[in-house]
Structure 1
């Protein structure tokens, strides 16, 4: 069984603390790394992948520091970076053959695995087309395929659903849920629905630190009596939007039904409702500039 352990891992860039003292132990399963843009998620993942060295702290795989493992660690690793590079004049299958060679696969093994993965990500019908003709979503699916080429035991995905349409995202989530049975899968995102239904654990980062970690049920339980539903006149909607964190608004004639995330009951007639992971996110990140980036 694999065990990835981070012990007081920090990364500083001059005076900025991008990652600050994170300690956590990961075993097989899907981990959703959730946080606003700029929370330090990408920096943390780059350290886990060995691209960046921590300023302080250690990262170990089965009690051995990853920097000392060298090629043995890279053999275990599959990585999809946030900015995925590709060769536009390669076909999809040629690109996977090339990446396979970089990962130490024979050409025969690369061809077989490429054929399998192109089917998995629904690109088998365009396997011989140039990547420059692909849409953003197709390129992203190709990136997911290359991360899986060496059958990694540790799979690190940084904003993997960027550019995917809703149908593609459902396909992706089903794939990741299946992979998590015998791998460590770390999926970084600021899109709540990407991890809400497939992550065994949610790791919440805020301003470089690990704010909390737990299952969806554990995190939403902390929001009990923090989410409210109430109706107000339409003419008051703008004022309420400015005063409260409104997660949903629905018009009903001359009334508006609001879903409000607040530690205090906003109005006597408000009723407490069952919280969701999105409510949790809104509560903890409502001051972040990119709060509107939450998607369903």
Structure 2
């Protein structure tokens, strides 16, 4: 049976060992940087140490424990072996729920009334129909498409931007770098669901966020590296932006003394938008191990050129 190395912060993947052992009787585990991990054929990863994968001469497969692989491909020394990611159908539902909540948080003025409640202030705001609120989805992969469709079902005016042209019923779509500015200029609630690639790092900076209309808001549930946080804060403090829900950060967990926790207009959530269960992760890793051993096609293999 294949040997598996676990590359993550200490203890993170311990809950996966039991279900994975049930799926693959006889499998052996080792945690990096143990010597046995260096000799493993499969690396199961979350934010592996730079250079670690390159130091595994017997490596045959690298497997992320999440849908994203940016935390692995950020290391230029990653060896040229198959790389797979997790695709959990429940993640799509969970992310859609989070996007709907983040949209309603601003659309129904919960950001304002929660702040007022701390001061015992009773104040109601004029309500707008969903059809009069333009929500923009940045990224039209599986997650973005599902969220966009659900928002349309609820009656919102929905736009979406993607790298290449796509068509989604009821959604005003934009594609390519030249169309990004027009997309942003009409978006009142911006939801980021982009993959993290070299071209999307720092995409949400002062110039692009400044293209959003006065009073717009941001819901960030993609990757923290997409956002230039200081630019966001400056735009909120200036009054150009209304606020933001931030679920992801460049460095996690977000330190308790980080100023974003206490920034008026910003709500921090602990990377909770969508989390795959350890059972699903174990099942998909085990399935790919069996496919690897019999020479079959791997599930959810990453196109490294695209980064997903």
TM-score normalised to the size of structure 1?
A: 0.30
Higher strand proportion: 1
Instruction: For CA contacts below 8 A with separation 6 or more, give which structure has more relative contact order.
Output: 1
TM-score normalised to the size of structure 2?
A: 0.29
